[in-house]
Structure formats: structure tokens, C-alpha cells
Amino acid sequence: MSRMTLSEKILAAAARRDSVAPGDFLLVEPDLGLANDITAPIAIQEFEKTGAGSCRFPERIWLVADHFTPNKDILSAQQVKVMRDFSRRHAGVHFFEQGDVGVEHALLPELGAIVPGMVVIGADSHTCTYGALGAFATGMGSTDLAGFYLTGKAWLRVPSSIKIVFTGTLRKWVTGKDLVLALIGTISVSGALYKALEFSGPAIDSLSVEGRLSMANMAVEAGAKNGIFTADEKVASYLSSRAAGRPWAPCAPDADASYEKVVTIDAGALEPLVAAPHLPQNVRPAAETDAKVDQVVIGSCTNGRIEDLRLAAQVLKGRRVAAGVRCIVIPATPHAYRQALSEGLFDVFLDAGAVISPPTCGPCLGGHMGILAEGERCISTTNRNFVGRMGHTGSEVYLASPATAAASAVTGRITTPSEVV
């Protein structure tokens, strides 16, 4: 009897083994390798140093120019040009730029690029997002991607798994973002170093796929190698209109799978949360965090999907952003942008005094479209609040859900949605 966790089962299949165990080193052929306008040029440069004339699996290479786009300066334009030229030289490579590009970890699921059981590697730490769809997805370095371009293979060490069980029924305004913040606050940013976080429980079963994508996205903020959910009927429904015709088979952990430990959290007892500077583990109730804000960012690979925009609009409708506060709304993909426009969400945002950005990572990493000055404070739906993450080292970032961020935009202070709506 194998007694394997979900991550172990996927890796065993990829390595063509009957079973694997934590610590095993595997040489696998990933189904997809992703890079962006920061990491892809390095991978391309290292690949070209080999003198190889072709990539092993060009159709498995995805290049998404999302971090500093639309190009904010000459250097960012040069980075994208490297990607564009490489894709033209190698037929089959998937390349996305202005007009088609979205924030990579929102774009790929939306396009049906990810299905359960895949092994996905990416030169970006938030590649773990795709675990929400039942894939084993993890970040790697640019040189690992260069090796993948050349050989179609990558080395992986099997992580041990931690089972995370969320019990209870979510209260109003409590989202997947709040669940993952609660987890990180419980186990710390180093609580799952090189581990697989396997999410389960009644609260997870009731959560939307978009909510799960937000949670898997932040698995790495606990130090995890990957975060993963069992693909259920909701995932099947999500994929039916996005990955129609692509074969995939359900995969679940063995009933007697062996976990390093089990962490249980009562989701029904949670309220809207924030993570205070300068670590995602500094989690506290939003209701107990009375801090003035200068900027609000609603977007990113964590919370820029249509469900997130609807939630923010629900709070902002009929209200105005507080004087002296900058509210920036960033739909994560062109599809989310168009959908928000057609549903009238843009009218809500504009009437409230917010500005709307094209799809971009932008301010999340201090790139552009919302850089903070010294002494400024932002509440953001992004995933990291390190020193200097969104601009000046003397600025501060609080992490929150779209509903809490929107409520804070209205009052100018960190505020729970129930205080506004």
C-alpha cells in the first residue's frame, strides 16, 4: 500500500515510479515551464550559452511579460524584447505581452493551461498558485528553466507534506485570503520550509476556485515548496470552459497517507485579518488595527481576479475613497478587465474616486503604477509586505483581502467591511 500524499502521488506519476517518499530526488519532465520579464531573460541567456539551436519542448515554455509592463523604462523594454525575440526564434513557445498579457499566475489558469496532475515549474516563487487546480507547481531559479529549455527535464526533491484542515463555516466577509493569512500567522513564514501544504476540510470544500488560487498563491509565504488542493467538482466546472478537451484524471491522497503533521484551524471563528509590516506572519484582526493609510492596492496574482473585483466593488458602491487616499484597482488579466467593465464595476470604482490600471504586477514588487514614498502606508491585496517591497524602505505595507482593502479606502484607516457596508 503506497500511503502517499497528493503531492507524492503526482510526483510518482511524473517520475514513472510506483511510489516516492520525502527526500527522494527525481528527474522529471515538467509539463510546463513559466518565466516572466524579470526571470526569463536570464534563462534565455544561459540557454543560449550552450549553443543549442532548439528547445526540447518549446510548446511547454510559457513567457509572460507582466512585472514591469506596460514597459516603464528602457531597461524593462529591453527585457521584454529578449523574450519576444526568443519566442520568434523558437516556434511553439507561448509568449504574452501587451494586449494579451495578464499577471502570469492569474493568466495561465484562465487560459486553461493548467489541469490537475501536471508538474509545473516557474522562475517565480508564486508558481505554487497552480496547486489550487490539483497540480504540483513550484518555483525554481532561472538557470533551472534554462536546463528545462535545453533538456525538457528538471530535478526535484520530494517534499514532506503538512495537512492543513480548515473546519467550520466562513463568516460574511471572510475569504480565502483571510484563511491563508490565518495559517501563516499560525505556523510562521518558516513553518513549512520545503514542505508541501495540502489543504482540506469543510471550509475548503465550500471555497470557490478563485479563493483557492489566492490561498495556494501564498503557500510560499510560509516557506512551502508548494500548496495543493484535491481537484473536486468545482475544479472540474472551472476547467470545463477553459481546458475543454484536455485530458486529466482526478487524483487524491491515499486515505492512510503519511503526513509530517496535521494543522487544524477553525475557519468559522475567523474574522477579516491583516498582516502588519514587515512579514506576512504578523497577522491580526483588521478590527484591532487602527492605522491610517495613504494608498490602497486591489489586484495582483493573489487577488486580482473577477471575484476579487466584485467583492471590492460591493464595498465601494455608492461610497467615495477618503480624501488623501490613493486607490488603485488592477484587474489581473484582460478577461477580468473586460468582465469588470461589462458588469459595471469600473463605474463603481471610478465613481468612488479610484484609478484603474491595465493588467500588471506593477506596485506589488515596487515596479510601477503605485510606488510608495518614505513614511507612506499602503493596505494591499498582494502577497508580501517586506521592507521596501512597494517602494521606499521607510514605507509600510499591510496585507488584506479585497473587501478589507476597499473598506479601508473608504475610511482612510484599516477598517473591516462590516464597519462600512
Domain 7-265: assigned CATH number: 3.30.499.10
- Which range, of 140-144, 193-197, 198-202, 245-249, averages the lowest pLDDT? 245-249
Asked if omega into 94 is within 30° of 0 (cis), the reply is: no
Domain 273-419: assigned CATH number: 3.30.499.10
* Structural contact between residues 117 and 228, judged by C-beta atoms closer than 8 angstroms: no
With a cut of 80, say whether residue 261 has pLDDT above it. Answer: yes
* Structural contact between residues 136 and 370, judged by C-beta atoms closer than 8 angstroms: no
Mean pLDDT, to the nearest integer, of 108-131? 97
Decide whether 7-265 matches 273-419 in CATH topology: yes
403/144 Cα distance (integer angstroms): 38
39-65 burial code (b ≥16 CB/10 A, e <16): bbbbbbebbeeeeeeebebbebbbbbb
Which tens digits make up the pLDDT trace of 65-80? 999 999 999 999 999 9
Which tens digits make up the pLDDT trace of 181-231? 999 999 999 999 999 999 999 999 999 999 999 999 999 999 999 999 999
With a cut of 90, say whether residue 250 has pLDDT above it. Answer: no
* Structural contact between residues 408 and 414, judged by C-beta atoms closer than 8 angstroms: yes
Beta strands at 283-285 and 32-36: parallel, antiparallel or unpaired: unpaired
* Structural contact between residues 375 and 394, judged by C-beta atoms closer than 8 angstroms: yes
Residue 69 has, within 13 A of its CA and on its CB side, a CA count of 25
Mean pLDDT, to the nearest integer, of 80-89? 98
Mean pLDDT, to the nearest integer, of 172-181? 98
> Considering the chain, what is the average pLDDT of its residues?
97
DSSP element (H, E) containing 226: strand 226-229
Residue whose grid cell is 487524491: 252
User: What integer pLDDT is reported at residue 246 of this predicted model?
Assistant: 87
377/296 Cα distance (integer angstroms): 9
Please spell the DSSP secondary structure of 164-202, one letter per residue. EEEES-PPTT--HHHHHHHHHHHH-TTTTTTEEEEEESH
Q: What are phi and psi of 279, to 5 degrees?
A: -145, 145
Residue whose grid cell is 526568443: 86
% of residues, the chain, pLDDT over 90? 97
Mean pLDDT, to the nearest integer, of 241-245? 86
Greatest CA separation for the chain: 63
Closest CA relative to residue 190, chosen from 260, 273, 281, 123 = 281
- Which range, of 93-102, 219-228, 245-254, 363-372, averages the lowest pLDDT? 245-254
Mean pLDDT, to the nearest integer, of 344-361? 98
Sorting pLDDT into bands at 50, 70 and 90, what band is 1? low
Residue 101, SS3? coil
What is the chain's alpha carbon radius of gyration, rounded to the nearest angstrom?
21
Domain coordinates of the chain in residue numbers? 7-265, 273-419
With a cut of 70, say whether residue 100 has pLDDT above it. Answer: yes
370/154 Cα distance (integer angstroms): 37
* Structural contact between residues 18 and 12, judged by C-beta atoms closer than 8 angstroms: yes
> pLDDT higher for 298 or 247?
298
Reading the block at residue 263, the C-alpha cell is: 494543522
Residue 419, SS3? helix
Q: 10-15: which pairs have CB atoms within 8 A and are 24 or more residues apart?
A: 10/117, 10/118, 10/119, 10/135, 10/136, 10/251, 11/119, 11/136, 11/156, 11/158, 13/117, 13/251, 14/119, 14/136
With a cut of 60, say whether residue 416 has pLDDT above it. Answer: yes
Which tens digits make up the pLDDT trace of 282-329? 999 999 998 999 999 999 999 999 999 999 999 999 999 999 999 999
184/186 Cα distance (integer angstroms): 5
